[in-house]
Structure formats: C-alpha cells, structure tokens
Chain A
C-alpha cells in the first residue's frame, strides 16, 4: 500500500509539473544543447508514456475496465512511444525533466555549481524504504544490475579500473596466440586424420606400439604388478580391435555391398545398417573419451589402448552394473565412495572458481565460455560418477531377480555380489542422507526405458512374493518409487504402452524355469558346477545380453506391421481448382477429401503374440495348386472342402482307396460293348427305344410319358 501511494503521489506531482511546464517547454527545448539531446529525448518519451496513462491515449494501453485505486506498476508500458521502458528510468530521480534542465543550465551558467533540490534524493532511493522497493533492490543487486548508473555493472567497472591499456593489449595478444595455436593444432589433427595412406598409419601405429613397448618394459622394471595389468589390457585391446573390425566399411562383405548398393535396396539398407552400427560404436567411444579427459591425468596419454579403456568405461556407465563390479570393484570403489562422501565439495569449488573467473576482465569472456563448458562437462562427469553407484543401488536387487532363473546356478557368485551389494547399499544410503539435492537431478539421468522396465519387473516380482525384497533398503525403495512416478509422469502414455509390451516379452523370455538340482547323475552335476565357476562371467554376460535382442525384435516387428498395413491413396492434385504456381500446397481440407483411406485389413495373426512375427504374405505358388472354382452344386467353399477330405492312396488303405476311385462304368478288355437298349433300363419297347424318357423306376412313369411311349409303339 505504502509503496503504491508513494508511487501515485510521485506520478501526480510529475504530471502537475509537466502540465505547468509544457507551454514553456517547447520554446526552451529549441535552444538546447546538442549533447543532451539524446537524454532529453529519452526522458521525453518516458514522460509521454507516463502521461499516456491517463488521457486520450489511454485506450491504446492496457485497459482497466473499472476505476480502482490500485494502479499496478506493470501496466506502465511504453507502447506508442516505440521505445522500451527501462526500470532504471523509472527509478531515476526526475532530475532531468527538460524544463528543469534548461532552467538548471541557465542557472548553472549564471551561478556557480549548485544543484537544485529534487523531489527525491539519491540517498532516499538507495535507502529503499518500502518492502517493494527492498525487493526490487534486492533483485537488482543480485543480478548486479546498475541501479543508478545504467551503463556499467560493478564488475565491468572494476575490470575497467583493473586493467590498463597495455595490459589489455597484452592479454589480447596472448589470447590471440592461444587461439591461433589451438586452431593450428586442430587443423593439423584434422589433416592427419584425413591422411588416407595406410602405410603412414601403419608406421604411425608401429611407432606408437614401439613406444608403448618401451614404456612397458620400463614399467616392468619399476612395477611388475602394474605391468601385468597393462599386459592384460593390451591383450584385451587387441581382442576388441579384432571385434570392432566387423563394423567397419573395409570388410569384404561391406565392399561387395557397397558395390551392390547402387542397385539393390536391400544391400543399401544393409550397408546403412552397418554404417549406423559403426557410428554408434564410435560415438560411444567418443563420449567416454571426453569423460576420460576429465577423469584423470594418468589415463590421458594412452594412445595405444584407447579401445580397451573406452570399452570398460562404456560398460561401467552402461547397462550392466554386474560387469562393472566385476571389473572395477577393487579399483574404483574407493574412488567412488570418496566421491560420494564429499559430493558437494567439487560443486562448491566449481562455483567459487567460476565466480573468480567471472571476476576477471571482460576480454576473458571468450575464455570463460570455454571454461564454463569444461565445468559443465565436469559436472556431468560427476553425475556420471554418481550414476553408476546409484544405479547399482537400485538395480542390484532387481538384477538379481532377473537372474533368478540362474540363481541356483551361480549361487556362489550371487552371494558374493550380495555382500558387496550390501556394502554399497549402505554406502549409498549414507550418500543419500548427505545429499538429498542430488536426488533431484538423478531422475533425469535415470529415465531410460530399460531402467523403468527393470523397476516394473521388480515390482511384479515383489508381488509374486519373491525373496530378497526385504533386504531392499527403505530409502532405496522410496527413491525407486519417486523415480518411477517421475518417469511415469513424464513418459507419454504411448510410450508406456510400448514399455508394457516390452515387459511382457521380457517376462516371456525370463520365465522362471526350474533349476538343475534334480539332474540325475551326480558326477555330471559336480563337474558342471566346476565349469560353472569357471565361466560365471560368461553366464552373466549371457543373462544380460537379451536387452538388445528384445529391442531389435520389437523394432523388426513394428516395421513388419507397418509394411503390411494397407496404404492410403492420395488423389489430391495440387493446383486443381485453385491458383497454380511454385510452392503450392493443397489445403488440408482438400487433402482430406481426396484421400482414399485404405480399408482396415484383417487383424494380424501375431497381434497378441509379442515374440512372434508371422508373415502375412500369400503364398502364390501354393495358391496356384489350390482349387479356385467351386464345382456346380456347391454354393459355399466349406461344403466343397468337406467332400475332398479323403484324398489319395497315401492316406487311405488300399481297399478303401480302390473303393473310392472305382469307376462308374466297368468294362472288360476284349469285349464288344453294344449300344444300350430300352429293355436294359426297364422298358419293354420296340426297337426304337426312347432314350429321352429313361427312368429308373417304371412305376413312376408319368401318364404323359406312357402316352408318348404308346405313340411310339404305334408308329
């Protein structure tokens, strides 16, 4: 209220003054200084805009339907004047009302420098009496907006003060050099990358390998354990390389496909698929590379074994927490926990850092951008670091559930995992207690479909009353539910539906099948158990291999369904009945009108079978052998089908077949067949038998026929 009244009074006084000053104003303004013109104009506009609040122009502005005492400050707009109304203009004391300025100048000229008393003093403004004003000032201060002087922020001012011209120049030169160097290196890297010579690359590789070997030998002398690890890495890298070769474009198959691709659609698709695969693989590598950069210095210079590192990284970040544990549980756990213990610290550091950075001079904005980007990356990395842990927390039990069918098999393993999992759970719980804020971020990270699926599965299994759910910590469950809600909330219903289908399929494939305990021969079981220990890891890999399979299959099925749907026929002719020309688009109405909707086909046979794709195409080859015309007395194909159910000698006994195929007339070879006589069929007529009146039953002869016969006889 207070503030409003103050503002109103201020406005009122302004207007009054203006009204008074207006007649004088015009002549005076002509004799104005050139320098003040701009400011003058601005002020003029402000005044205009304020004055337009009441008056004729009011209609243009925000309307108020009824008069009220409350005049919102938001309705003050600069409409009509064309220029924006800045808040600082409003807050400024009305020192520079044009008339006063003229007077002031005159006075200045006449008198020594003495300021005129203004309606509101600077200090008064600064003091910020009312709560509204306080709020405004708070806002302004927070954003470091100039309250009084509109030109420079304090930071800018400070920077201006901080640096001299030479310094600025030096700094600039430095930056330029850095930029030039960077671009130079980039260009060089690009150039090198573009070198097609295999020989060059081979030599390069060899050189690197040699270097690596040397390093390795050195390491062997210094630290044999690390060397052994390195050796293992090398071996794996080689394997990975071999495996990844499959998806490049240089294979024999790929080359042949590339040739075929011009003519063959399928080949083209295959090639594209492979390219996409390749891209996908390389992309993942790149992503982890960036991570790797930020992660630590020790991994930065390993040009020979990037694949290995990347691969492991992918696994660590990716779907499979089990594998992650197997690889990294020893090495990374401590690190992770450390991260969990002081998760807020790096952020705080970063913020302080960034503040410091921001405090630097304005030329550094460019650098700052870089910096910010980097810090962002760091943040994301941090999240990444947090993610696997969290994932482990949530996914651990569920994955155990998924593996329930394998439980009996890898009991030992699961117990091990369970223990470690428990440890992690506890650690994670502490982490959650420490930092609830992180929870807010994480749903975003955890909204992938496969995750939700596992959650759903978890729920379902829980309903079934499966074991090990009690062990799930409450916090984790809550977290799960929260996430689930969030994901449900965000996910569109369509997606949800799809998910359901996937779940269905997943359930189908992971149906609980009985364990192997009842296998009869104990020796075999023992041996098998030994083997089982040997390749636990393989088992787990196999258990988790399915995700991609299901997704691919669903995709394939969707495509098949799309392909088999009847297509709509669009008969729209653009330009018919309307103006022609380039870029013509028929209206939606027209399109709707001439779109002949294809009739909905019969439902697919595999509609309710998520794990099956049934080809709906008609086998035309087989159809050529089918009966296509109904023989005479039959009116429906089912009737006819019933009469042809006893085919051939293959499906009937010999006697039955003979009987079925017995001819109507049996003749003997070597006998003369005389033409049929009327007597033969029961008529005692003359030599001229009437065949047209043959009847089986002479009693049934009609009178007419008898007459006819008699006539014949008479003849």
Chain B
C-alpha cells in the first residue's frame, strides 16, 4: 500500500516497470535466517511486515508526495489495491483515513508561498525531499489529533443572558459532582493575603501567606503534603520543575523546601526577592528583587546564570512568556521590559502606561500581553513584533493582578473582585467588552493563577484561597509524557531524568525562538567575505593599483608600492567590488573535436547561451507571468546544459540580516508554520487563523544540529 505507485500518475511507466522487474536486494540476515532454523525469527508474517517497514528506501519524491494526499481527493487516499481479509470481504474504508486540509495546514511548518532563490538541480531535489518529509509529518500530526478526545468546556447564557451574571453557586449546581468538588474556599484569615501556585501538572497547589504560612496540597484530593510556618514574611511561592520542590521568597532570602516541608536550601545570593518565576524547560528560577536585580538561578546545578540589573528601582511585577521563556518586568515608570539571561540590556522596552505598571501577564501562545497600570487601564498588547496595544479598557479600580489561562482567558483581580474575559477562540486576544465571569471574594486579591488542565482559577486573597470554576479555561487534553496529572512517583522520576537530559541552555532564550532554526547570516557573510579576501590576497588575481600618495597619509612610505610593513591598509587597492569566489564562471564553449572550430561560431554559441540565460532570468524576474510563458520556459530549462541558478539579488549581496530576520518574522506572523504537536502534546483545538503555536513548550533547542 505504500510503495506501489498509482498508474496514471506522472511517474513514467517505463521506470515503474523497471522497478518491479528489478530484483529485490537480499539482506544478509534474510539469507542467514532462511538458511538456518526459522524458529529464531518471530512469525513469518510479522517478519515480512517488519522488513518492509525497515527497508531503506531512497526517497522518491513522486512516491512520498502521493502517499500522503489530503482529503481533497479522498478517492486517491484509498489504497489502489483493496486488501483482502481472511473472510474475503472487502474493507469498505480501505487505506488510511482521510485528513482535513485545515488540520494539516496547521502543522505545516514550511511556508511554500515564499519564493526561494532559484536552486541548482541538486539543491532542488533536496528541497523537494524536505518538503515531502514535512508534509508527511504534518499529515501524521494531523492524524494524531484523533487522540485528543476531550473537548473544552464552555458557558453559554440563554438568550440575552449575560454570562457574567452567572454565579459560582449556579455553576456548581449545574456541573457534575467531581467538577463541583473543584470549587472550594479555604478560609485562612489568620495569616494574611496569600500567594499561590499550581504545579505544572495542575495537580498540586502551594500557597504562602504573608505572615509565614506555607502549605502544599494535592488540591484535587485535598490531601495536605506539608504545612509549615516559616516565621518570616512570604512574598511569593513557586513550585520548581516538579511538585517535590518548592521555592519560597521570604523576607530576607530565597528558601527551597521539599514536599515534606524540610528546608533544603537557603539561597543567600537571591535576597529580598519579591517575585518568583520558574522556566520549566531551562530549569531556571527567575527572581525579581527589591534591589532591582533580576537573577536567574539554574536549579539543576544550583548556579546563578545571570544577575541583571534592571536599573528601574524596586521590581515587584514579573511574569514569563511561556512561548519563548522571556521574562517580562513591569516598572514604576509605566514601562514593561523584556529580559533574557543572555543579554545585559532589556530586549525590548515598551511604554505601556502613564502611571506605574501594576500587573503583567502573557498568554500561552506568546502573542498577547495584558498589562494594567496605575492609570486604571487594562491593555492587551500584541507581542508579535509591533508591541502595540490591541485593546484597552479603563477599570474602576485598576487591576492589581492578571493571569492568562491556557486557552487565552484573562483574569483580573481588582480589589476583592475577579473579572474574567474571554476571546473568540483560542489564541485570539480576550475581548474586554463584556466580562465572561465575575466573582466577589471575601478579601482583596493577592494572587491569581489558572490551574493547568483544569477549568479552575485559583485566587489567593486576604481571606484565604478560593478555587473558582471557569468553564473553558484550560486545555482539555494533556500530554502524558510531558505533564501528566495522574502520574505515579516512578513516572515522575523518569520524567525528571528525561527533562533534565533535554534541558535547554539558558543562553538560547531569545525573543524569537524560531530564529535559532535559521542560519547565522552575519557569520556566514563574514566568513564569505574573509574567504574572498584571502583568495584575493594570496592568489593576487589583480594588479596593484597605484594610488595617489596623498590617499594614505599615515604611512611613512608615501609611495605607490604596497606597504610591506603592514602598517596601513591604504596601500592595498580595495577589493574589487562584488568579487565572489563562488560565482559561476562564464560559459566557455569547448573546442570542437571534429571539424573546424571557427572563432565566429564560438562567439555565436556564447551569444546564444547568454541570450538564453537572459531570457530565462527575465522571465523569472517578472512577477506572475502567464502560464503560456511557463510552458515556454520548461523546455528551455530542461534542455540547456548551462542553465544556471540566478540569484534574486543581482548585486551579489544577499539581503541584510535584519531584513531577512524581519522577513522571517513576517512569515511567522502570517500563518507561517510554527510548532507542531508532540505526540498528543497539549494540542487540541483549532488554533487561531494566523499562527498556531499549540505546544506549551517553547520551541527552543539546538535542533539545527540534529540534521
């Protein structure tokens, strides 16, 4: 079903015949197994199947591209040879199941609309192979969406009913008992306003009161794992990579506890920490301190990776961008700065508010940032390069705390009220027109977080902890290999080892993680230039150009001869502009073996080739040429021996790196391919129409080296 090409396709039939005729190469083990006892191998049918699978196939472009065709032509997808079952009945749905084009498009990462510089034949074949592979993988990914069985919840009012008027009690009444149990209040009035944090799996909850109360529990079963009082003010609390470790920002220093409540470390280099943020794929604990330092602590090796001075006074607003692991800091002068441990200065600084920034939150796709400031405004910014506000709203009190859910709901804590806004779909910005839900608490909000993989919003306030039900907040499908809420201890340990092996280096954090999959153009250009220079200097393909003496006033020689002392480069004539060692040599016809080879005919041939090239390049240069021209082109391209690649950049200089980067970003912003799925990894619902980053994992990594 895989190999046999369909008759009538553009594969030449002759070749097809040849292939079938060709003797199948024998494998060395086949020979032996047939020779020896058959018992050594597993059952013959399985073996055969396996052989078939593992057979090294050289990629045939026509084959691969045909194999995975989409449901546009569902007939073709079916195997041409209907398989016969034992009973002799025919499979009515033979062949692989059809996949919808949209879903496949979602996982496509190659932007085919972008015109590439015309490749050589060899390169072109490589490109074709890569495209075929990419298509195949995207089809496979689309197919695996079948495994995402869960659907997100939702809340819909009756005709004209405002969903914001639905109270928590109503929701609890309506839902099943298991979900209803997820709404609860912890009445903890004694130890002051609480900060809280869910573990990455969403199973565990840790909270710390300002008056020193620290506790962690499995909030689903309500089983307490530990409860201590640290006898010091607690500013913030955060789980590290697993629920077994807990970082607590206390009055003085940063402490790390295990799930028994035993203090493991006291990190004195992080002092007066106000906010904590954990980057799970880099194993970095980012701390913002009163002293104005942003410190990155690598928790896997216990080393401080970077300590950056934000130079903006006390830092009390921090959040991470889950897409690219960039840290966002809010400052009292109304700006939000974006930080990476690799850079000493902020990557970007955005002036968001006229007053100080009170809270910042970034959604899981890394596209939107919500900020609230002292000017009582709540704004949603576009993070895709423009950093402009998409929508703004004035709130009566201004939001002191903000949080995005996995599916893009925005929660804001204003005094003792929590408002939640929803967008149109996933990856769309929350529309601030009408709140989706509203809830009043018994105390002022001090911490907000949506629980991952559960439709629950945890609110820490001065009266304790409240767990709210927010239908449609979380991703309904979890990735069992990545963050499994039901994992056992053993599984957790296994995962821990794997995660540590896959740890992403801290210096890879940058604004656009896709840039890591690009060639470092600046170095490339530099190397190219140096090579050209080297060749020119050593091979001396040009004569010394006598320069006027006055043009190199610093050298003592003051002569036209080259400067032997090497004291100045003025004596060397400048490199010929645009000299490129890689450039194609001009066409030189070979002398005829037989007959007369007259100069006239040589010139004629040269001219002919030149004209042809000119014509081809001219056609290519014209945008959107009619099809008739393309037909006319085809024989030209195939017949000529000296058909050459024509650079789209006639001046030998490829575009500037900045421009290239901008182009790349553009591509990404406009429906460009982004991160695909894991096996089942957190990908569930249709993404926004523009970009489709579904995986919560930031696509950083040194994957170029994989190739």
Given contacts A625-B508, A639-B116, A641-B518, contact A615 B345 (CB under 8 A): yes
Q: In the complex the two chains form, what is the Cα distance from A655 to B133 in whole Å?
A: 12
In chain B, what residue has the closest Cβ to A529?
B396
Contact with B along A692-715 (1 / 0, CB 8 A): 000001010000000000000000
Q: In the complex the two chains form, what is the Cα distance from A549 to B141 in whole Å?
A: 48
Contact indicator A673/B507 (Cβ below 8 Å): no
Contact indicator A612/B348 (Cβ below 8 Å): yes
Contact indicator A645/B658 (Cβ below 8 Å): no
Given contacts A520-B438, A602-B656, A664-B56, contact A622 B29 (CB under 8 A): no
Chain A residues 574-618 with CB under 8 Å of chain B are: 576-577, 594, 602-603, 605, 609, 611-615, 617-618
Which of chain A's residues have a CB closer than 8 A to the CB of B345? 615, 617
Contact with B along A550-567 (1 / 0, CB 8 A): 101100100000000000
Which residue of the partner chain, among B22, B127, B522, contacts A642 with CB atoms under 8 Å?
A: B127
Contact indicator B119/A637 (Cβ below 8 Å): no
Contact indicator A643/B117 (Cβ below 8 Å): no
Q: In the complex the two chains form, what is the Cα distance from A409 to B144 in whole Å?
A: 51
Chain B proximity of A353: nearest CB distance (Å):
47
Contact indicator A651/B675 (Cβ below 8 Å): yes
Contact indicator A611/B387 (Cβ below 8 Å): yes
Does A314 touch B at the CB level, under 8 Å?
no
Given contacts A613-B349, A653-B679, contact A542 B376 (CB under 8 A): yes
Contact indicator A635/B524 (Cβ below 8 Å): no
Q: In the complex the two chains form, what is the Cα distance from A651 to B694 in whole Å?
A: 10
Which of chain A's residues have a CB closer than 8 A to the CB of B524? 628-630, 637
Does A245 touch B at the CB level, under 8 Å?
no
Does A194 touch B at the CB level, under 8 Å?
no
* Interface 9-residue window, one of A107-115, A235-243, A388-396, A508-516: A508-516
Does A244 touch B at the CB level, under 8 Å?
no
Contact indicator A515/B701 (Cβ below 8 Å): no
Does B374 touch A at the CB level, under 8 Å?
yes
Question: Number of A-B pairs whose CB atoms are under 8 Å?
Answer: 312
Chain B proximity of A703: nearest CB distance (Å):
17
Which of chain B's residues have a CB closer than 8 A to the CB of A409? 376, 394, 396
* Interface 9-residue window, one of B76-84, B334-342, B535-543, B593-601: B334-342
Does B589 touch A at the CB level, under 8 Å?
no
Which residue of the partner chain, among B28, B703, B707, contacts A671 with CB atoms under 8 Å?
A: B28
Given contacts A637-B521, A664-B56, A671-B28, contact A655 B396 (CB under 8 A): no
Q: In the complex the two chains form, what is the Cα distance from A613 to B338 in whole Å?
A: 10
Q: In the complex the two chains form, what is the Cα distance from A137 to B203 in whole Å?
A: 103
Which of chain A's residues have a CB closer than 8 A to the CB of B662? 605
Contact indicator A521/B164 (Cβ below 8 Å): yes
Q: In the complex the two chains form, what is the Cα distance from A285 to B377 in whole Å?
A: 33
Given contacts A539-B376, A625-B516, A697-B18, contact A549 B354 (CB under 8 A): yes
Does B678 touch A at the CB level, under 8 Å?
yes
Main SS of chain B's interface residues? loop
Which residue of the partner chain, among B28, B335, B519, B695, contacts A630 with CB atoms under 8 Å?
A: B519
Does B131 touch A at the CB level, under 8 Å?
yes
Which residue of the partner chain, among A627, A636, A673, contacts B520 with CB atoms under 8 Å?
A: A627
Does A54 touch B at the CB level, under 8 Å?
no
Which of chain A's residues have a CB closer than 8 A to the CB of B347? 614-615
Contact indicator A571/B554 (Cβ below 8 Å): yes
Does A35 touch B at the CB level, under 8 Å?
no
Q: In the complex the two chains form, what is the Cα distance from A662 to B55 in whole Å?
A: 10
Contact indicator A640/B387 (Cβ below 8 Å): no
Which of chain A's residues have a CB closer than 8 A to the CB of B350? 611-612
Q: In the complex the two chains form, what is the Cα distance from A652 to B144 in whole Å?
A: 10
In chain B, what residue has the closest Cβ to A407?
B394
Chain B residues 400-436 with CB under 8 Å of chain A are: 415, 417, 419, 432-435
Chain B proximity of A584: nearest CB distance (Å):
15
Does B446 touch A at the CB level, under 8 Å?
no
Point out residues on A near B: beta carbons under 8 Å. Answer: 266, 270, 405-406, 408-409, 505, 508-511, 513-516, 518-521, 523-525, 528-529, 531-532, 539, 542-543, 545-546, 549-550, 552-553, 556, 571, 573, 576-577, 594, 602-603, 605, 609, 611-615, 617-630, 633-648, 650-656, 659-660, 662-666, 668, 671-674, 680, 682, 697, 699
Point out residues on B near A: beta carbons under 8 Å. Answer: 18, 22-23, 25-26, 28-29, 32, 54, 56, 109-110, 114, 116-117, 119-120, 122-123, 126-127, 129-131, 133-134, 136-137, 140-141, 144, 162, 164-165, 309, 311, 333-335, 340, 342-343, 345-355, 374-377, 385-389, 391-397, 415, 417, 419, 432-435, 438, 440, 502, 505, 507-510, 515-524, 527, 553-554, 582, 645, 647, 654, 656, 658-660, 662, 673, 675-679, 681, 695, 697, 699, 701-704, 706-707
